[in-house]
Amino acid sequence: MHLKQYFAFLAVAVPAAIPFASATFWIFGGTRPIVDTRIDSVISPGVVSSHLHSVAGGSRFSATYNYDDLITSQCSTIVVPTDKSNYWTPKLYYRDLNANTFTPIPNSFNIYYLARPGPNNDKVHAFPTGLRMLAGDPLRRVNNGSNHADQAISYVCLDYNNNHSGDPDWAERPDFFPHQCPDGMRAQVFFPTCWDGVNLDSADHKSHMAYPIENFNDGSCPSTHPVKLVSLFYEMFVSVDQFPYAPGAWVWSFGDDTGLGFHGDFVDGWQNKTVLQSALDTCGDVSGILENCPVFEPLINNDAASACKIDGEIVNEPIGTVSSPLAQLPGCNPMWVGTGPKPTCNPPRATPGFINPQNPLPSGWTEVACIAEGTTGRALTAASTTNSSMTKPLCANYCAGLGYKLAGVEYGDECYCGNTLVNGANSTARTWYECSVTCAGNPNENCGGPMRLNLLQKN
């Protein structure tokens, strides 16, 4: 689908609750995860989480942090940099039923902000500073169609070339589809929008919030939770079409192949609440498009969002790739079939520790800056190599081994060495996100860019 068609599709996909729905909403569309790791700072602060999550937003995501930590993020995968919030869901895996292996399925997020004042035309407020909340339940095994919390979890099967209206097998539903989705699947979660006005979190991470009285996604707030906040809705776009369909082949990272246990977490990291509140108050009907909102338009930075890498922490364990599927899901997450209690692991599995997502440079080396290549040739010409496992430490070690004190990584897999910058190059720092190409050997690290070097120096 072309980008223009895609955003047109997003504009009509926004969930509506008649008769109260407001036309004021915007979308952080196509937001990529900043990391997939077994961390959940809401449910499991300070320890390794029970299952793998796909996390978008601020780069300071880690197992233990607060609002003040989060807003020090260098960047965010959200294109409005003042939003350092974190948004996450479980990771979906493809289970090869023949080999009994698990491969992570690529995903991205469409994150909706909706101003829905309800029948009483209530003021819609920005998130209170530091709010945390959870929607959905990984232990859910049955669906209650009259319960707002259950209604807030749903799936849409995408087929852009055929019309399936009126076909119940293709209707939006609370669990996985019994057939392939030719253009991918949306896993959807709508967060409660009514706040008790006091607590930023609660023991179950839900009680301080409530769904509106009339509908799960619109209406008036109950007296126990009188403050109407902006409504938050995730569409997790999952590329299930990249894998052959089979019943039971789609599995959430906690072992659920029904889909009923889908859930989402949110931690507020808006640096400037004035920006968010002003957008809610003044943007009007922007049809979901950020650029149509005068508050957001001058702030949008797609380059920084694309280049952003995690600078918090990750769990030291394999999570699988297309070429290296796993024999079991990360953590203690055996397949959970039926409505009985979740299976346990016997014997228990060892819990890994946390590591820095970027490997440290060799002793005595520091990173100088992102710099431009020379104007008449390469900035470093003494030696060079390319490597499909390139990282900054690998390049520094290569150059150090040849006796050079300068090293530069470029375009993901290239390494250059020398003792001085030549051909008109200098160490003047460029904007950090001009060095935006992911290192070939580390998905959590950048290695230069087109005609840009991450310059490293031995002290």
pLDDT of residue 166: 94
34's tokens = 């900043």
**284 pLDDT band (50/70/90 cuts)?**
confident
CB atoms within 10 A of CB 82: 18
Backbone φ and ψ for 299, nearest 5 degrees, come out as -95, -20
Q: Considering only CA atoms, which of 141, 229, 239 is closest in space to residue 183? A: 239
Same domain, 306 and 167: yes
Give the tens place of pLDDT for each residue, 295-340: 999 999 999 999 999 998 999 999 999 999 999 999 999 999 878 8
Same domain, 385 and 308: no
Same domain, 390 and 260: no
pLDDT of residue 21: 59
Give the tens place of pLDDT for each residue, 128-171: 999 999 999 999 999 999 999 999 999 999 999 999 999 999 99
Same domain, 251 and 163: yes
- Give me the amino acid identity at 52: L
Query: Is the Cβ–Cβ distance between 94 and 106 less than 8 Å?
Result: no
- For the CA atoms of 433, 408, 55, 32, what is the dihedral angle to 10 degrees? 50
- For the CA atoms of 32, 316, 202, 235, what is the dihedral angle to 10 degrees? 20
Task: Give the domain range for residue 153.
Answer: 3-315
Rounded Cα–Cα distance for residues 111 and 108 (Å):
10
Query: Is the Cβ–Cβ distance between 218 and 230 less than 8 Å?
Result: no
Q: Considering only CA atoms, which of 75, 49, 50 is closest in space to residue 62? A: 49
Same domain, 374 and 454: yes
Facing residues of 12 across strands? none
Last residue of a domain, one of 282, 300, 315: 315
The DSSP code for 403 is T
Rounded Cα–Cα distance for residues 217 and 228 (Å):
12
Same domain, 373 and 306: no
Same domain, 185 and 54: yes
> Domains in the chain: how many in total?
2
Tell me how many helices (H) and strands (E) the chain has: 6, 25
Query: What sign results for the dihedral spanned by CA atoms 284, 287, 292, 298?
Result: positive
